[in-house]
Amino acid sequence: MHMNVWLKSWIGAFMALFFLMTAIGGGWFLYVTNQERNHESDYVINEVRLAVNPLLLFMEQHYENIRDQHVQATLRALSGEHDVALTYAGLSGEILFSTSPYKQGDRLNLRSSLHYDLHEATQNDGSYRITFPVLDADTDSHVANAIFHIAKERLGSDSSSAFPLTMLIVSFLLFLGSVALLLVMRTSFHSRILSPVRTLQGRAEAILRGNYEPPSHIGTQFARMDELGGLYAMMDQITLELKEQRKRRARQEKAQKELITNISHEIRTPITTVKAYMEAILEGVCSDRETMLEYVGIMRNHTDKMSRQVEDLFLHAMEELGQISVEPKERYSMEVFPPILSTLGHYARTQGIAYRESLNMPNVLLPVDAARIEQVLTNLVTNALKHTSPGDTIHISADLEENHLVFTVADTGRGIRPQDMPFLFERYYRGQSGVPGQAIATEGNGLGLSICKNIVEAHGGVISFKSREGQGTEFYFTLPLC
């Protein structure tokens, strides 16, 4: 269940319970209020009737002689005995007898002075002034009105309860239901939200400490098909990415250290050789011009090697910063490439490798940075020399294909191992050979092919290869025409 559905279900349950309790509470309040009001009115009227019943019976029997002094004395005694004040008024409103503040002989306004219900009979001081009709005992005809003044304290209290038992039971059950619902929601909220969030917090803290391995219970949380389950999946992806970045950074740092070590070694060896030949010349070991020129040629080869190493290192630094400089200019191919290929051919022949190139290069106009493309061809030829032996052949050709000039550098050397092919253009990667007697050892800094790829792609071309182990390798790259 998704979190929004879960929250909506709980909110709906609480709203339904709230409205139910509100409705029951409101109905309960109205019911009790109405019952209390009705019950109080009936109860007070009955209590007053019971209290004044002896006086009413006496007046009904002696209403014709109400002016008699003996009858009035009896009424006054009964009023005192029952602690009530009595006013006896005829149907015309004339007061015929009174033990209250009213005076005998006064007249009452029957409309405003006679109160038969409790609401109108209640006085400001909390007493009741209630009117009962005086009836003829024989004919039941209305002959007079008896107005009684009675204190509220005179009446007994109602011991009966108007509180509905059913309503009490329902309210109590609703209260228990509310408490149970809150406890269930608390448990559900803790298990579905708080506990997973705390687990995520602990996971994030572990990642900050460098621990990328998920705990054993993370799998059950990950299996949830809701927002938190998606968050766990995202956290797992982030963890894997961070773990991979850490491994990649470690490999890169290791490769950079090896690069510095390799370049230091490959530069130190030519420097040592050049220094040895220079000392030999200075000491006069070269007895003739031919030997001296041979020594100078050897020094030049080692100097060229150092120059290539330094240039590769410089391009590597520029590539790391994303600032490798490629400035293509529109030039004809026959103007740019023959001098480059001639130099590379001479260099390959000095290593004992047969060198061939196409004689019918197309003369086309294309945007090219001659210096950078020379580095590409030089790196490809140097790479071919590392995998060839004396007697092998390196062949360079150029052809037109679909508005592109395609260069191919092929050799008949040992080829590339299948396990090395996926990583050939990665920085710092150096393939393994282990075959003795090669023209150039499989040493290198692992930058050459990566730099070639960067330069060719900066020209808008592509570079690739095909190779079979033991049968040679063929690298080719394209340059778009103008």
**CATH value at residue 402:** 3.30.565.10
Q: Is residue 301 part of a domain?
A: no
Confidence of residue 399 (pLDDT cuts 50, 70, 90): very high
Q: Report CA-CA distances (Å) from 405 to 240, 355, 425, 462, 467.
A: 43, 21, 21, 11, 21
> pLDDT digit string (tens) for 308-321?
777 767 666 666 65
Indicate which CATH number applies to the domain containing 124: 3.30.450.20
Report strand pairing: 393-400 vs 354-357. parallel
> pLDDT digit string (tens) for 62-95?
888 888 889 889 988 988 888 888 888 888 888 8
Is pLDDT of 120 > 70?
no
User: Using CA atoms, how far apart are residues 87 and 89, in angstroms rounded to an integer?
Assistant: 6
- Tell me which residue has tokens 């990665």: 426
Q: Is residue 298 part of a domain?
A: no
Domain count across the chain: 2
Please, are residues 51 and 84 in contact by the beta-carbon 8 Å criterion?
Answer: yes
Residue 439: predicted pLDDT:
37
Confidence of residue 444 (pLDDT cuts 50, 70, 90): low
Helix, strand, or coil here: 465?
Answer: strand
Confidence of residue 478 (pLDDT cuts 50, 70, 90): very high
Please, are residues 422 and 252 in contact by the beta-carbon 8 Å criterion?
Answer: no
Torsion, Cα of 415, 421, 425, 429 (10° steps): -90
Lowest mean per-residue pLDDT among 236-250, 340-354, 395-409: 236-250
Q: Report CA-CA distances (Å) from 218 to 78, 187, 223, 240, 245.
A: 93, 20, 9, 14, 22
Average predicted confidence (pLDDT) for the chain: 79
* Domain end call among 103, 132, 154: 154
Strands annotated E in 34-99: 85-90, 95-98
Is pLDDT of 104 > 70?
yes
Q: Is residue 24 part of a domain?
A: yes
**What does the DSSP 8-state code read for residue 101?**
S
Q: At what angle do helices 289-320 and 448-458 cross, to 10 degrees?
A: 60
Is pLDDT of 132 > 70?
yes
Q: Is residue 20 part of a domain?
A: yes
Residue 482: predicted pLDDT:
85
Sheet holding 142-150, edge to edge: 95-98, 85-90, 142-150, 128-135
Q: Is residue 208 part of a domain?
A: no
Instruction: State mean pLDDT over 217-225.
Output: 55
Q: Report CA-CA distances (Å) from 270 to 249, 263, 299.
A: 32, 11, 8
Q: Which residues have CB under 8 Å from 203's CB, separation 6+?
A: 214, 215, 218, 235, 239
Residue 319: predicted pLDDT:
62
Please, are residues 334 and 361 in contact by the beta-carbon 8 Å criterion?
Answer: yes
Q: Is residue 475 part of a domain?
A: yes
* Domain end call among 110, 134, 154: 154
Residue 161: predicted pLDDT:
46
> pLDDT digit string (tens) for 267-322?
777 788 888 888 888 887 777 888 888 888 888 877 877 777 777 676 666 666 55
Confidence of residue 266 (pLDDT cuts 50, 70, 90): low
Residue 437: predicted pLDDT:
44
Q: Please report, in angstroms and rounded to a whole number, the separation of the first and last CA atoms in the chain.
A: 61
pLDDT higher at 237 or 44: 237
Report strand pairing: 472-480 vs 463-468. antiparallel
Output the six-digit token pair for 279: 């000392």
Q: Is residue 182 part of a domain?
A: no
User: Using CA atoms, how far apart are residues 379 and 45, in angstroms rounded to an integer?
Assistant: 121
Q: Which residues of 325-348 are buried (b: 16+ CB within 10 A; e: fewer)?
A: eeebeebebeebbeebbeebbebb
The residue segments making up the domain with residue 27 are 3-154
Confidence of residue 159 (pLDDT cuts 50, 70, 90): very low
Confidence of residue 436 (pLDDT cuts 50, 70, 90): very low
Q: Is residue 166 part of a domain?
A: no
* Domain end call among 154, 185, 212: 154
User: Using CA atoms, how far apart are residues 76 and 97, in angstroms rounded to an integer?
Assistant: 9
Q: Which of 204, 226, 223 is nearest to 214 (CA)?
A: 204
Please, are residues 142 and 135 in contact by the beta-carbon 8 Å criterion?
Answer: yes
Confidence of residue 475 (pLDDT cuts 50, 70, 90): very high
> pLDDT digit string (tens) for 229-263?
777 777 778 888 888 888 878 877 776 676 676 66
